[in-house]
Structure 1
């Protein structure tokens, strides 16, 4: 077809236009957001077409960091699919189009098709994966990773949704199984799998040679870290910026799409020109050397090598079709115009009424487009209330009037069709996709590593140090034991099956004196702490019981009013969020006081839970109090609540140091008179001067900033008050109490938006890197947070930033400014009068500025993990990629604790990590405020994990005593010795950390069903069970029977079995004596009260089996 202009095509109509094109299509959008939206729309409009998207790099030109692994995988996969001719529509943005690509020949022969019973060398396959850009790891979790364990190779193919497990016998591929990346267990059996390259750069010998020649030709012979790494065959961070040096020539994308017709949006031409100017600017910046710059040299390749030129784009445009919404004479005009346009702020009921009128008078097809399935259901409920009957459709409908899911911000109108979007009716929406939800229980257990040198607490012997895993010979059989060192160099060898008797104390560097083996000091200390913990448990249970006995008003709202309020929410609720809302509203309607903790990552939608709970409360005639830890967060909530409750008739006020004294007094009076419905305040609300007329709900935000006494003051405001607590980083106290059932908890773990996780970098302080990071954000129209831990550093940082970046407007904020000054600064930054906010960590749990998407933390080693996590949560909250740079000093030493903390921070790159943060933080700090300030000393005495275990045990004990009237027995661990080899051999699981974590999981198994399931998983992941592992699992089952039978110790050998009862007692002594007197049992009781079973057990397998049967019989007797 001759290039032409297609006019009258409004945004959102493109998929209908593309659907009717019979040839392959390359469609160019002006930006990534439009490309992503077009892909979502094509999935609805043209589900039968094979549509693919080539995403642009998510880094700047000439950056020190390369594109993320997800982007590289996506691009490589799409290019491979193009080569195979399996694409009907390819969508790319102007940014994605400009990158020159490796020649198609470099990708066309790198795909591998594997099938069952195929003869293939496992070694050559491993080499092939490495060259294909796959990363070798211990456990496969993400796309582009592989792991090797004996004859089993796990790999997550670049084109797959799930990883696969390849089981070899010699050089024959025997089995191919799909498995779950979190649980690591098989989910399906396959007969074949395709392994596509994970990276467009294979680092073959030819490519390395070509790179070395081209690099020296451009930049001379002086080696750089990049040159040295590539020369040694190692991948280097950001090497993609030198991609052209690895190939004889580079290709434009159009070389891959020769059969396709090219269409480009009318805004693409401007986007390409702007981008090329930016690329040139970055290139020039790289050539200029900053004074005092000590970072490694950056030899930038000329732009024309890596990017298309304006001439290249002009040639592409000459053979392409222009798509424009504007009418042009002499061109095909689709007469697609702007659709329904309502004035901003139109109330929901009025918008629905307008729609009703349109439906009644229009003869055209009318489609109402919802953003998501959840939105469609919500709209349908509103329509039903308004007596509007639309056909709900899952596909592009043939019905005259229909409601469907079609993610588009604003509708359009054609002579035959009127499409009205959710945004047209209800105001701005945000398009989002729900990410796959991950099960994390097993993942967390396997991730909690025990490292050599860590301080541990043994339940019976106290604080020692873990020195490693050692095989010890016992009765001529090898037994894996943990080596623990104590005061004076004493050693304790702990059998792996009893690993449940130890817990981590905290940080290995803690200045804690080790206990002495055999000393009474530990038992005395433990008894003292247990007594105090028991008091705490009694208090907590009493508090929870008192609240459950109180009556509270049953709060419910009229469904029509509530649905209209919910309709203003501009997102689709995630499953977790809906569950949290339902649980909260159910608690509020139950008639007893709610005490619910909603834990969710920053930006995961906790505020919406609070908004809906607040609406139900005020609609029921009660008042709401919202407490925030800082004045900034208080202001943010005030604006959010005011905007959402606009035109509702409810009065919202705030109390903070920003409010003048006279006005604050008036607000307090109106509050006590019942003339204020919702009060949002800081610590001012704890004042005795604040009185309520009829308080129904207290919402506490970021509760880790409040002390126990302050929180209890809230609950004592009124005994029948409902309490909703929101937190992104639950401190262990709140987490532990929630998990032990003293409080109800809702976990929001699903990311709400298909946004990229904030990319986190730990870097020594480097002026050029920071300049790049700041300019990156500045050039894309964003703002920057620059945070320092110390007030005294702000002046010098301000001076150096002004010299480094004269074009950037900088403003300073800290807690010592007056209320008025702080208000002015934050408002000015919010209103984008400044580009960079330099502050102390006052922004930690305060300000929400979606336009600020780069964070730089000065001296990140001086912040706590929870602080770092909260700070990072301030960026990446919009559709743009967020970046966080954690800088550390160049020369000054930093502690191992700080390094560990920063590594954890970087590992929490995936969204949804907030819930796991508390345990990480406590493991590192070693101390914490669990149930009150006075408890931290007790934590130091026994360690964090044991403290939490003892607290959980004490709460359970109080409950059992209340219900049964009998005390609960203290936890203990039987000792089993069968004279058999017990271990997970290194040849079976090579990675030491993984082996230790498997031991921890094994020790927690407590039923035959769990043991069988775990054995199946081991076979699945690592192959057939070695005898030593079978023995270990046998011992774990015997331990379970021993606990039930009150057996403290079991010693089995060739001549029989000796059993020691705990405290010399048995739950059913008469039944035990009858059993032992049976001649068939062949047993006797020794004078030391030990029970001997005489047997001939030379065969170890028979010995283990028979011991299990005897212990199982005794467990049955003990049950009665």
Structure 2
């Protein structure tokens, strides 16, 4: 698998070890106009530690919208530039690239570093000049959109890549720039990382820093989920304009957006309303956005292009139409466009009158309303992980079922590829199948048992590596020592991890509970033998049915024991028979 091989190569390859902080670095950091939070300082220290090691950095910086991730990234960039290397910031939209360009140009103005931007706001002639100067090393920091990923862009000596809002890029996009140099340091910024990103940080392919502390004087965004009520929406806009603020209205369809804008104009005739969407001419869109920043407009009706948009502290109300059509991370990002100052901010998630919401849409809206406290981005990503699963780490799907794909298989795959690249012999107990377990039982760590998110994730990772009864017993003892008696769901999780490991080693692709039978479906490469069949027939007699052929499977009638206990019993009998056969 190419993705894992790249991760494994980065793990092995020597990276560039940046030096300790200089007087210049200290001066640059002291010039920051705000008081840093403790989390910002910790994240900065972790990133510098990675940069100063001789391994290539791959760190995820997870912090809520407006919590100062850009400043942390600026400090890493300064360290890189000061050592004579180039840095790149990859942003998902031209508008965000523009904002980074202005912020960092100002921050670096007193230093001899050349900052440039490559996006559709630059003419073709300007772009060609910038690309040429990047190759010769005349430009130190390049900020841009996916235009940076084009084949004609090359670097003289790239030291650091910063990816902002990773969930907006395709996996292929991200791999293009990582492949430019396998030893380049990578820092990813995100308020709500997509499940795959979060998952990768759990299994140790990349490290994670979390900024959970809000800047001083911030209030959480007050969030309301509601049926569309035209009079209420009119009052909401008037109230915001009455306190001198501005309003975002998100309508995520280009067709009909002007009609929606006209409707709001009718309800609030005194409001100056602008419309923005991705199909507009680039200059026109830029003019609209800049006009909104400079308060020429009171209301901006737009598509989700504002999701990773400009930082506008004066906009403190957002109305999201047809909110049930949007994903959890999208809703969270859109809500994060407001509440960027010390004013109370409001988000209204609106769905059509009399509409019956699908179960997943209802859960998403409930989750976003629940997480109104500060630092909720990380929690939102965790809930997204629960709703959607961790996705297919080897491909580009951003979906999947957590138990069927399995933490264990991910961990083992990375370990296998690293071992293979290092020429180490693979252990015989390595997995032969990616086992899916479908026993319809709750198997997870409840928040009431382990409340701290990071501790819970760390324990999930440890449980994923259970390989035998002894590992399960050790894990059980440790959990009881640290957190007290295990709830049933957590005990089930330990059993599921053990079942998956044993089944995987025997080439079982799926274990399914079908009516009154437990069915074990085998992959082409498996351990089935006459000795195993004999041991199972001895134990289960007429309750056992064996199917041969291209897709072999065995089924056992359900007994009085729980399905999870019976599955373990069957697997242990197979393991014992296999061991006898090998003696």
- TM-score bracket relative to the smaller structure: 0.7 to 0.9
Q: What's the secondary structure of 2:120's corresponding residue?
A: coil
Query: Structure 2 matches for 1:456-535, cutoff 5 A?
Result: none
2:429 corresponds in structure 1 to: 968
Q: Contact 2:20–2:52 at 8 Å: present in 1 too? A: no
For residue 894 of structure 1, the aligned residue among 348, 351, 357 is: 357
In the alignment, the residues of structure 2 paired with residue 1034 and residue 556 of structure 1 have an alpha-carbon distance, to the nearest angstrom, of: 48
In the alignment, the residues of structure 2 paired with residue 1034 and residue 557 of structure 1 have an alpha-carbon distance, to the nearest angstrom, of: 48
2:410 corresponds in structure 1 to: 951
More helix by proportion, 1 or 2? 2
In the alignment, the residues of structure 2 paired with residue 928 and residue 1036 of structure 1 have an alpha-carbon distance, to the nearest angstrom, of: 22
Displacement after TM superposition at 1:867 (Å): 0.8
In the alignment, the residues of structure 1 paired with residue 18 and residue 492 of structure 2 have an alpha-carbon distance, to the nearest angstrom, of: 54
In the alignment, the residues of structure 1 paired with residue 425 and residue 65 of structure 2 have an alpha-carbon distance, to the nearest angstrom, of: 42
Displacement after TM superposition at 1:620 (Å): 0.9
2:130 corresponds in structure 1 to: 667
Q: What's the secondary structure of 2:255's corresponding residue?
A: helix
Displacement after TM superposition at 1:592 (Å): 3.0
Query: What number of residue pairs does the alignment pair up?
Result: 488
Q: What's the secondary structure of 1:838's corresponding residue?
A: strand
For residue 307 of structure 2, the aligned residue among 813, 825, 844 is: 844
TM-score by length of 1: 0.40
2:477 corresponds in structure 1 to: 1009
Q: What's the secondary structure of 1:881's corresponding residue?
A: coil
Query: Structure 2 matches for 1:48-447, cutoff 5 A?
Result: none
Displacement after TM superposition at 1:869 (Å): 0.7
In the alignment, the residues of structure 2 paired with residue 1033 and residue 838 of structure 1 have an alpha-carbon distance, to the nearest angstrom, of: 50
Query: Alpha carbons of 1:801 and 1:625: their partners in 2 closer, same or farther (altered >3 Å)?
Result: same
Q: What's the secondary structure of 1:700's corresponding residue?
A: strand
2:469 corresponds in structure 1 to: none
Q: Contact 1:785–1:855 at 8 Å: present in 2 too? A: yes
For residue 96 of structure 2, the aligned residue among 621, 633, 637 is: 633
1:752 corresponds in structure 2 to: 215
Displacement after TM superposition at 1:545 (Å): 3.2
Query: Alpha carbons of 1:1006 and 1:568: their partners in 2 closer, same or farther (altered >3 Å)?
Result: farther
The C-alpha deviation readout for 1:754-801, integer Å capped at 9, x for no partner, is 422111101111122212221222122211111101112312211111
In the alignment, the residues of structure 2 paired with residue 824 and residue 840 of structure 1 have an alpha-carbon distance, to the nearest angstrom, of: 16
Query: Alpha carbons of 1:765 and 1:558: their partners in 2 closer, same or farther (altered >3 Å)?
Result: same
In the alignment, the residues of structure 1 paired with residue 492 and residue 8 of structure 2 have an alpha-carbon distance, to the nearest angstrom, of: 42
Q: Contact 1:763–1:887 at 8 Å: present in 2 too? A: yes
In the alignment, the residues of structure 1 paired with residue 373 and residue 150 of structure 2 have an alpha-carbon distance, to the nearest angstrom, of: 40
Q: Contact 1:541–1:955 at 8 Å: present in 2 too? A: yes
Q: Contact 2:416–2:426 at 8 Å: present in 1 too? A: no
In the alignment, the residues of structure 2 paired with residue 601 and residue 847 of structure 1 have an alpha-carbon distance, to the nearest angstrom, of: 15
Bigger relative contact order, structure 1 or 2 (CA pairs below 8 A, ≥6 apart): 2
Displacement after TM superposition at 1:1040 (Å): 8.6
Q: What's the secondary structure of 1:792's corresponding residue?
A: coil
1:366 corresponds in structure 2 to: none
Displacement after TM superposition at 1:669 (Å): 2.0
Query: Alpha carbons of 1:969 and 1:544: their partners in 2 closer, same or farther (altered >3 Å)?
Result: closer
The C-alpha deviation readout for 1:682-725, integer Å capped at 9, x for no partner, is 11111222222222211111111112222121122233322211
1:711 corresponds in structure 2 to: 174
Q: Contact 1:731–1:930 at 8 Å: present in 2 too? A: no
1:590 corresponds in structure 2 to: 53
For residue 820 of structure 1, the aligned residue among 278, 283, 289 is: 283
Query: Alpha carbons of 1:742 and 1:540: their partners in 2 closer, same or farther (altered >3 Å)?
Result: farther
Query: Alpha carbons of 1:558 and 1:743: their partners in 2 closer, same or farther (altered >3 Å)?
Result: closer
Displacement after TM superposition at 1:1018 (Å): 7.8
Query: Structure 2 matches for 1:18-29, cutoff 5 A?
Result: none
In the alignment, the residues of structure 1 paired with residue 232 and residue 391 of structure 2 have an alpha-carbon distance, to the nearest angstrom, of: 36
Q: What's the secondary structure of 1:642's corresponding residue?
A: helix
Q: Contact 1:707–1:932 at 8 Å: present in 2 too? A: no
Q: What's the secondary structure of 2:109's corresponding residue?
A: coil
Unpaired runs of 5+ in structure 1?
1-535, 975-982, 984-991, 1020-1028, 1049-1062, 1066-1085, 1091-1110
Query: Alpha carbons of 1:796 and 1:562: their partners in 2 closer, same or farther (altered >3 Å)?
Result: same
Displacement after TM superposition at 1:875 (Å): 0.7
In the alignment, the residues of structure 1 paired with residue 55 and residue 48 of structure 2 have an alpha-carbon distance, to the nearest angstrom, of: 12
In the alignment, the residues of structure 2 paired with residue 551 and residue 908 of structure 1 have an alpha-carbon distance, to the nearest angstrom, of: 41
Displacement after TM superposition at 1:964 (Å): 6.1
CA RMSD of aligned residues (A): 4.0
The C-alpha deviation readout for 1:138-183, integer Å capped at 9, x for no partner, is xxxxxxxxxxxxxxxxxxxxxxxxxxxxxxxxxxxxxxxxxxxxxx
In the alignment, the residues of structure 2 paired with residue 723 and residue 904 of structure 1 have an alpha-carbon distance, to the nearest angstrom, of: 31
The C-alpha deviation readout for 1:1010-1055, integer Å capped at 9, x for no partner, is 3533784689xxxxxxxxx9xx989989x999x99xxx9xxxxxxx
1:866 corresponds in structure 2 to: 329
Unpaired runs of 5+ in structure 2?
465-471, 507-526, 530-534, 540-571
The C-alpha deviation readout for 1:439-463, integer Å capped at 9, x for no partner, is xxxxxxxxxxxxxxxxxxxxxxxxx
Q: Contact 1:786–1:856 at 8 Å: present in 2 too? A: yes
Q: Contact 1:595–1:723 at 8 Å: present in 2 too? A: yes
In the alignment, the residues of structure 2 paired with residue 697 and residue 834 of structure 1 have an alpha-carbon distance, to the nearest angstrom, of: 38
For residue 65 of structure 2, the aligned residue among 589, 598, 602 is: 602
Q: Contact 2:480–2:486 at 8 Å: present in 1 too? A: no
In the alignment, the residues of structure 2 paired with residue 715 and residue 556 of structure 1 have an alpha-carbon distance, to the nearest angstrom, of: 23
Q: What's the secondary structure of 1:583's corresponding residue?
A: helix
Q: Contact 2:405–2:435 at 8 Å: present in 1 too? A: no
The C-alpha deviation readout for 1:941-969, integer Å capped at 9, x for no partner, is xx343214333343345557875631335
Tell me which structure has the larger Cα radius of gyration: 1
TM-score by length of 2: 0.74
Q: What's the secondary structure of 2:256's corresponding residue?
A: helix
Q: Contact 2:80–2:159 at 8 Å: present in 1 too? A: yes
Displacement after TM superposition at 1:753 (Å): 3.2
Displacement after TM superposition at 1:576 (Å): 2.7
Displacement after TM superposition at 1:547 (Å): 2.3
In the alignment, the residues of structure 1 paired with residue 224 and residue 349 of structure 2 have an alpha-carbon distance, to the nearest angstrom, of: 6
